Each structure stands twice: as structure tokens, then as C-alpha cells.
Structure 1
């Protein structure tokens, strides 16, 4: 006790407290570990290769070049990545994590299903399964690829079975599906035996929507059948004439210089690209003088019969008039098409946008008094008694008729245009529900301006909520209705968020609290946020197929579907962070790379693939007794 009180002990005790422990002296944070820096560098390089479609084989030389470029960098010197490692880091690292993230999100949240089936360049039937989700962290709606499925049975029942098995494998509840969208083929949207029919048997309340963009393309295609057949032939002949010869393209460029026309190439008319018809029409009208001069010269040489026919068609009175009219109408359809090809939230404006454009087209040939006195659902475009005596053809076409009158042919020309308009509107009415009490019409209240307007269309939100029983419980309908009514009373206090887009407004509404510090609009906000996942088109899955065709081309046609899916999933993961230059691999992913988990998944995948190949080989040769043994050897 005396020693404890001495000055020597006190001095040594204080010195001991300030001495660093030997373990702390040698300890480094995870970010400072050299192997972490190397793993990160390899992941960054793999992410760059994934986003820009760089072949894995380039990794063999790429890493060696980086080492020569930065000889003083310790991280670069320690990088060891060839094509095999780049492949499994992408497939069993980035893509594997992205698949888990999307599946987990679907397990815990409501989502919409968007699917489509296609045949790739190697004649493999591929089903793309996408989900539309609402990300509360980013306040935005996103279409995400869940996976590709290689299918043997492309019937509606076979596709539904494949999708259901995938969801069960990922442990995603079927009840989390709120909506379904696809193209308009009978396999997908057949009422009796289509994919949607099978889905409705399991989920009677699911929201079904045929792709709006596909529908517009079909409406235009059916309406085009009412026009004289020479027009379609003329468009195809003009486009194909230049695609066959670079010499013709060069000669046409010389003509463009003479007439001082923009040096734009002639476009190709495609049956599968929705917007190609309108773009081809615009380009032909833009290059009309140059084309006329070019084909007049080609016709004189008598080299090709097609040039003479094209020149004759262009000189025929009424051809340019008709093209001007079609360009005016098709541009209206294409504007709607472009609007709903967007990846962003559009379901709230779907009904109003289509209704306004439909009314605008009807006004060209239907009497205005009748148009204002009848609802769109009641009005029959084929009723000749409601038509105008003289239809409107658009400003450019009307001006052309004044400059170059058609004389006696004008009556027939206007009748052709009228038949086109009538058929276009008939097809639109056939494919869209213009009733004001339809689900699409009621979804317009998701627009904050509509929801906060005293003249809003829906007084009772229960009319909309009953169509989505999986989103709102029956016992919560009273509170939901009260919160919908109170929204107008709190309009002044919501001024700071009323100008936000719908994806942000309804989420911010959750933060509004009452006098008791309780959320004022909890049920309403939750209901609206869950409705955000409803699809407005299936354009997202078409974009995925475009990526598939870029990855799996003539040179890479032996790539497996799973490899292509992993590449696209990796690109998706990186693009969600705005590109490889901003992408940061998660700590869990870095840990998997360092700990060898990515390599282990790769080895298991390879063993499963090779075991399956051997099992198939033995089965083909009839050695069925050795199948199980072969599988065990490679799987173990």
C-alpha cells in the first residue's frame, strides 16, 4: 500500500497508460489491407468489362498491360486476373449478387411481372423474366431483370410453369405479384388459355395490361391496310433500293449536294421496330426533291425496272399528299409510343394521354358538337352519321392541296384518308378501355395534381382499392377513405411537396404527422406506393432482348443462356449506380472474392454442367446405370 502511494509507482503507472499495445501497433483497417485493394481493383476492372461488353479473353493481356503502365503501383503488381477469373468474378460475383438482391426485393415487396419469349441467334427459345419494383431509397420505379429461362415448351402453360418454378426456386411468394404485362400475342394474353389466364387462376385480382406500345403499332398496321397497296410497296422499294448498293448511296449523296438537302441516309422499313414507319415517312418527305431527281436519272438509264416504277409513283398526283397526311397522323401515334416506352413512372398519365390523343384524332372526322356531347366509350367511329362532311388532313397536306390541287381525284383521296382515320380509331377503341370508371381511368389519381384537386374524379378511393385486395385489407378501408378525404383538408400544409413527382410525393406523405405525432396518411401513402409498380408497357423486356442480341451474335453464338443472363445482370447492377466509373462493389462482394466464395460457386457450376453433360451422354448411349455415378463424381 505504501508502494502504491509512492511517486515512483504513480509515475510509472501513468506512463503505462499511454503506451500502445503491440497488437494495436500492427493492426490495420480493412481498407488498408493490400489484398483488399487488389480485390477492389480486380472488381473495378471486371465491372468495366461487364458494362462495355469487353470479351473475357482480353483480360489475359489487359492486366499485364496495366502492370507495365504502373510499375510503381503495388496494387497493380499484385493483380492476378486472367479470362477465367474475370468470367467467374462477373458471373459468380457481380451477377450472382444482383440476382440475390432482386430476388430479396421481390420476396419482401410487391412487384409486377413483365415477360416475353424470343428466339436468339442459336435458335434457343429464351424467356426473359423482369420485375417492376418501387425503390423507396431512390424514390423511383425500376424495371429489373430477374433471370432468363431457356424453355423447351413455348406454350402458355409451359411458360407459366417455367416462371412459377423460378419464383418458387427463389422463394418469391406468388401473392406479391400486383400486375402483369407482356406483348399482345394470344400465348401471353389469351383469355381462355393464355399466360394471363393461368396467372389469374392463382391470382384473380392481378392487374393485366397488354403492352401499350405493341397496341399502337398494331393499330397503325391495321389502319394501313385500308390505304392503296402501292404506298406500302413504294416505301419498301425506296428503302431497299439503297440498302443493296453502296454505289447508289454515293450517287445519292451527290444529288443531295446539288439540291442542298440534309445528308441523311435512307432508313429501312422494319416490321418489328414500332417507330420505323413514321421515321421512314419523315425521311422520304425530307429527301423528296433529292429522291425525285435521283430516280428520274436512274429511270432514264433503264438499268433497273424498280427505279422506273419508283419514279412513276413519285410523279403520280396524290402520292406526296398521302405521305404528308400519313406523316401527320403517324407522328401523333409515335409520340404516344415514345411516351410509354419510357422506363419511368407513367401509369398515372396513361388514360389521360391516350384519351386526349384519341379525341384529337376523332376531331379530324367527327362533328365537334357530337364529340363534346358523347363520352369516348359511347362514340362509335364507324357511325357515318356523326362524321364531318369534309375531314381535316393536317396543315402540310392541306397546303399541298392548295399548291397542287388533285381536281376530281380529291374526293377519292379524302375518302381514303377518312377510311384510314376510322380504322385507326376503331382499333384504338378495340384495344383500350375508354370508360371513365375503368381501373386505368381511376389510376389517374396517383398524379399529385389530380389527387389534390377539388374536382378530382374519384370521391371514394374504395372503388379503386377493391380491385387490389392484396394491397388493402377490408378492415383498413375506412381509414383509407378518411385519409383520402383529409388529403384535401391538408392541401395547404402539403405545398412544399405538392410539386414533387408522384414517385416522391406519396413517399413523402408518410412523414406528415398529426398532433399526436402519429403518421397522418399511413394507409393512403402505403397503398399508393404499392400501386407504383403497376406496368404501363413491356418495352423494358424488349430492351433486354436488344442487349441479348448484342452479346450473343454471329461470333459468340455458342454462349450459353445462363452466361448471357449473367452478363446482363452484371450490367444492370453497375448501371443502377450510374456506370462503372461510379460503381462501388459491396463489402460482401469484396469479401467473397478474397475468401474464394466466387471461385467455389464457379467450380460448383462447372461440376454441375459437366456432370449433366456426361449424364446426358451416358443416357444417349444407353448406359443408364452409370448416370448416377457420373453425377456424383462431378458434383462431389
Structure 2
């Protein structure tokens, strides 16, 4: 089992911690991301997060040594070497596999690289969007110009630091609408509001020879980075191809400004900051569209062209430096060994891992050391069983499960230990993007109108939603099991919820009169109030006055406990 953790602040300024688990489902032959729980925390430091996660695992009777992998974002509170959560986790589980959020790392690399560009370029991207953001009149005028130049009718995008792909998308949209934007701002600079709205400055930047050239260069490079970012946001297993994908893209970026003879070295030995390895400025690869524009509209003089090329070179150098800093590029790193999880690599006679024990020793919870001999034999036999394997799917999640159908002469499973190891490795996380999806769902549940919902109430709703979705049916087609119906009728569901929910939360969610003192009759009150809300929401002829009288009158309080079970059955039937 692997778990993925992230912390955020919701609309009511409460710190919540979302914990998800990733495991390989043998019945469905695929990797499942499941929400474990959402808890509210007071301390978001590494030590505080460690205490919260330990408490959560203890409450659900999950031993920590079941954890084989952990993924989160790259904040110091999570991945700090000394006091981050991963440091505390490694003390309890020394063999845990830890990987920062790949998508977040790519975004940070691009952000650092953009800091090497002229400052006016970032401001230009922001100004273009802000000019249209709060004016429907301008948006309408811009649409008219889009019709004239036959440009796609699309709105300008906003540049955001928290959205990983926003910069590349904003640049691509501005280039798509370049002709329409030029005509629009030519007309805008003649209005009286120029000094306030900055239309003249935007038009000046667009007219400056070199702005479009730089945007085309950035669109070319960031487009490739965003493609990798999108690939590793996928929920499918990607860890087996992570090293090869990153290494190929890193080598491709180096080739844009580094001499060919240098690229024959190992990637880890190449220093992108070593200027002695650079190409001439005129030989830097700027992308096809940028090169074509330079031919049609050359820069004014040699000095401007040299400055432009230097900016592009600095951008590429910083991008490669950040990638080398954030991703393991050594040829003997664990990511290289994990490539054998891909069936194509495992069946290759020239595979990188000759002894599977090199990989198994890194994950002692998956295969015991006394089984290493059997594991090595099965790893070797895999190369000579191609005829038995030729009809199997070469998708990793299906292959290592389907391999269990192959049996030896004694009618025993031939690759049982190997399958157990590989199915366990399939659960290793390559990203924690799925946790971000949980926070988006939290924001849809806890809105401005329902801003007093507690963390465990939100978790209950999301867990119920995921329980239905895992059955791959629509909510209106879902049928509760007989066990669930029995638990509702006997009150087990209500008792479990009451146990998890504090009395203060019950008062916050259900109390109509907060100044009423708590007593032994609070639980019947809560039940009748819930029933009242149910009747009121579905329009049954049960007036508020009669129900509230039954709840709070002395006679009614004496009768509530005796009729509670009967009313629970009635509530179940109404629901």
C-alpha cells in the first residue's frame, strides 16, 4: 500500500489533511486510488502532520509497515530532509519509497526558468488578461474584431501561479489571437482612458520587435514541458516510464544549446551551467515558428539579436539546471530499476536488472528474504516462457496479474512470488495529483452557504460518493446491500456516526437553539430535529410547530426515548 498526503486551507480558514491510499486491486487488475479520510489539523508542520497521520492509521488499525511508498507536494513541511514529514516517516518505515509531485516539479522548473526572461514579458501576460477581465463591453468589442480577422472566438486566459499549466496556455492563447489583439489595442489607444487602463503600454509591447519572437520560443519549450506534466497527472501507472521520459526530455532540452559531442556523456555528468559546452548563440534551437519569424521579420540589429539569444540561452540553462536538481538522473538510481515493471523491459534479454534481488531488497514488506531464491528463479524463467506469455496483454497492470494463470508441470502457479512483487510495485505513486482532485471536491461540498461543515462530515460525503463510483454505477442505479440496510435499521450507522462526531459538531449542524443546555435528552432531540428536517425537505404535512413542541415539551421529552426506535424505522421507510 502507498499513501498520498496533502494539506490545504478551506473556505472557513480551517487546515485539513487529505490522505489517500493507492493499492493494486487483483479483482479488477488495476491500480486504485481510494480516499482514506479527511481530518482537520492544528499543526501543519512536519511533526504535526506525522502525529495526525499516525493517529489516523491507529484509528483504522493499519500498521505503518504496510506502507511501501509516499508521495506529496514539494513543500518543506512534507519533503524536508530534517524536519519534514518524510523524515519522520523514514524513521518508522526506513524502506519507504518517497517521490515528490512530478507535475509540481515540472511547474517549478518552468517558473524558475521564466525568471531569467525580461520582467516586462511577465507583466505583459498579466496585463492582457486583466484588460478584459472586468469589462463586458471590451469583451464584446474584441469578439467583433475576432469576426473581422476570422480568429477563433475564445476568451483571454488568466496567468496563475497555482495552476501548473497556466503560463504555457496563456502564451498559446495570446499567439492564437495575436492579429485580433493588435487591431483591438490600436483602436483602444485612441480612447481617453489610455492612462488608466494601460492599453498604450500593451500596444507598445506588442509592437516591439522581439516580443512575438520570444513568445514563440516559450510556446515551443513550455509546450513540451506541459505535455510531460499532463502525462504524469494521469491516474494510470507511469512509474515504469518515468525515468526514460524525463531523461529523454532533459537530453532534448540540452541539445537545444549544448554541443552534440557533449551529449554522448551520461546525463548526470553533464553540467548545464558549463559555458564551455555551449553552442554559438546563432546555433541555438529556438523552435520552428520562432526561426521562421526571424527570417520574415529579423530583429533590428546584431546587438538586439544577441541579447535575444542570450535570454533564450539563460532560460534553457536554468530550466535544465532545475530539472537536474529535482529529478534523479543517475543511471543506477531506483527509478532505472523500476523500469522492469514494464513487461516490454522485463522480457528484454538486455534488461537493466539482472538480479531481481536488487529491486526486492528495497521493498522488504513485499517479498520476504527467504523467498529471494524462488524469486530469482522465476525472474530468470520469465525470459524462457515467451510462448506462454505471448497471448497476455503487455499492459503492466494486466500482465502481472494474468501471469498467475501460467502453471508448471506440477500444476502449481509458476510465477506467484514474482507476480506478488510486481503487483505491489504497481501501487508506487508517480504523482499525487489525485489528492488535488479531492480538494476540488471539498470546495464543491463546503461552500459559502455550507461553510460550517466539519472535516469528518465532508469526508463522509466524499467516501459515500467514492463507494458508489467504485461500483461503476450511477447514483440512481446504486442498490444498497442487505448488510447496509440492516445496519441502518438496527442503528449501527447512527451509532458509528455519533461516535466519530463530537457533541460540538452535532450542535453546530443540527441545533436550532444554541442556548439550550445539554442534558441526557440531547440525543433524542437531535434525532427528532433530523427527522423534522427530513419531513420539511420532502414536503410532508408535518408542521414545524407540532414537531418542535414534541421535542421540547416536558411530556414530549418523556415519550421521545420510547418511540425513538419506531421513528427510526419510519425514517428509513421515508428515505
Among 393, 396, 421, the residue aligned to 2:286: 393
The structure-2 alpha-carbon separation of the partners of 1:244 and 1:411, relative to structure 1 and needing over 3 Å to count, comes to same
1:122-141 to structure 2, matched below 5 A, reads 122-141=12-31
CA drift at 1:609: 4.2
Give the whole-Å Cα distance in 2 for the aligned partners of 1:487 and 1:574: 39
Tell me by how many angstroms 1:596 deviates. Answer: 4.1
Structure 1 residue corresponding to 2:211, chosen from 319, 328, 336? 319
Secondary structure in 1 matching 2:367 = coil
C-alpha distance in 1, partners of 2:86/2:499?
36
Which of 166, 175, 186 is the aligned partner of 1:296? Answer: 186
CA distance in 1 between counterparts of 2:426 and 2:88 reads 24
> What is the aligned partner in structure 2 of residue 402 from structure 1?
295
What does residue range 89-104 of structure 1 map to in structure 2 within 5 Å?
Answer: none
- 1:283 Cα shift? 0.5
CA contact (8 A) 1:157 1:198 kept: yes
Of 201-210 and 359-368, deviating more is 359-368
Deviation of 1:248 (Å) = 1.0
The 2-side partners of 1:606 and 1:414 are apart by 62
Aligned residues, how many? 514
- Please, which of 367, 388, 393 is the counterpart of residue 493 of structure 1? 388
Select 1:340's aligned residue among 217, 224, 232.
Answer: 232
- Decide which of 266, 269, 274 is 1:375's aligned counterpart: 266
Describe how 1:390-539 pairs up with structure 2 within 5 A.
Answer: 390-406=283-299, 407-408=301-302, 409-497=304-392, 499-539=393-433
**Matching of residues 164-183 of structure 1 within 5 Å:** 164-183=54-73
Report the counterpart of residue 546 of structure 2 in structure 1: none
- CA positional deviation for 1:607: 7.5
- Quick check: 1:562 aligned with 2:453? no
Aligned-partner Cα distance in 2 for 1:448–1:210: 25
Q: Is the 8 A contact 1:130 1:147 kept in 2?
A: yes
Q: Distance in 2 between matches of 1:405 and 1:504?
A: 54
How much has 1:597 moved relative to structure 2?
3.4
Residue 633 of structure 1 deviates from its aligned partner by 11
Distance change (3 Å), C-alpha of 1:603 and 1:536: closer
Q: Is 1:544–2:435 an aligned residue pair? A: no
In 2, are the aligned partners of 1:611 and 1:631 still within 8 Å (CA)? no
Q: Note the alpha carbon deviations across 1:464-496, whole angstroms, 9 max, x for none.
A: 111112222221112111111111011122101
By how many angstroms is 1:287 displaced? 0.3
Structure 1 unaligned spans of 5+ = 1-110, 614-620
Q: CA deviation at 1:302?
A: 3.8
Q: Cα distance, 1:577 vs. partner?
A: 2.4
Taking structure 2 as the reference length, what is the TM-score of the superposition?
0.86
Runs of at least 4 residues off by over 6 Å: 610-613, 626-636
Aligned to 2:567: none
Asked which structure has the greater CA Rg, the reply is 1
Give SS of 2:4's match. Answer: strand
Is the CA contact 2:3–2:22 (under 8 Å) kept in the aligned structure 1? yes
Distance across 1 between alignment mates of 2:235 and 2:73: 16
C-alpha distance 316-606 of structure 1, shift in aligned 2 (>3 A): closer
Q: Deviation digits for residues 117-139 of structure 1, max 9, x if unmatched?
A: 10001000000011111111111
C-alpha distance in 2 between matches for 1:355 and 1:334: 16
Distance verdict in 2 for CA 1:384–1:611, change over 3 Å: closer
Paired residue for 2:143, among 221, 244, 253? Answer: 253
Counterparts of 2:437 and 2:235, CA distance in 1: 10
Equivalents in 2 of 1:224, 1:603: separation in Å?
A: 52
Q: Distance in 2 between matches of 1:251 and 1:158?
A: 53
Partner residue of 2:254? 362
Are 2:200 and 1:308 equivalent residues in the alignment? yes
* Alpha-carbon distance between aligned partners in 2 of 1:530 and 1:522, rounded to the nearest angstrom: 12
Q: What's the TM-score, normalizing by structure 1? A: 0.78
State the distance in 1 between where 2:95 and 2:192 align.
65
Write the distance in 1 (CA, Å) between the matches of 2:450 and 2:507: 22
Structure 2 residue ranges without an equivalent (≥5): 509-514, 527-560, 562-575
Q: Look up the SS of the partner of 2:199 in the other structure.
A: helix
Post-superposition CA distance 1:321-353 (Å, at most 9, x none)? 000000010011101110010111111111111
Could you tell me whether the CA contact under 8 Å between 1:114 and 1:541 is conserved in 2? yes
Residue deviations 1:75-100, cap 9 Å, x none? xxxxxxxxxxxxxxxxxxxxxxxxxx
SS in 2 for 1:534: coil
On the 8 A contact 2:456/2:501 being kept in 1, the answer is no
Flag the 1:438–1:604 CA change in 2: closer, same or farther, 3 A: closer
Q: Which residue of 1 aligns with 2:512?
A: none
CA distance in 1, matches of 2:261, 2:354: 29
Secondary structure at the counterpart of residue 390 of structure 2: helix
Matched residue, 2:76:
186
Q: Secondary structure at the match of 2:190?
A: helix
Confirm or deny: 8 A CA contact 2:18 2:37 kept in the other structure.
yes
Aligned-partner SS, 2:228: helix
Cα contact 2:454–2:505 (8 A) shared by 1 = no
SS at match of 2:24: strand
Residue 580 of structure 1, CA deviation = 2.0
Deviations 1:216-236 (A, max 9, x none): 010000000000000000001
SS at match of 1:559: coil
Correspondence list, 1:188-267, <5 A? 188-267=78-157
How has the CA–CA distance of structure 1 residues 356 and 582 changed in structure 2, closer, same or farther, with 3 Å as cutoff? farther
- Residue 146 of structure 1 corresponds to 36
- CA distance in 2 between counterparts of 1:154 and 1:341 reads 25
Q: Distance in 1 between the 2:132 and 2:456 partners?
A: 39
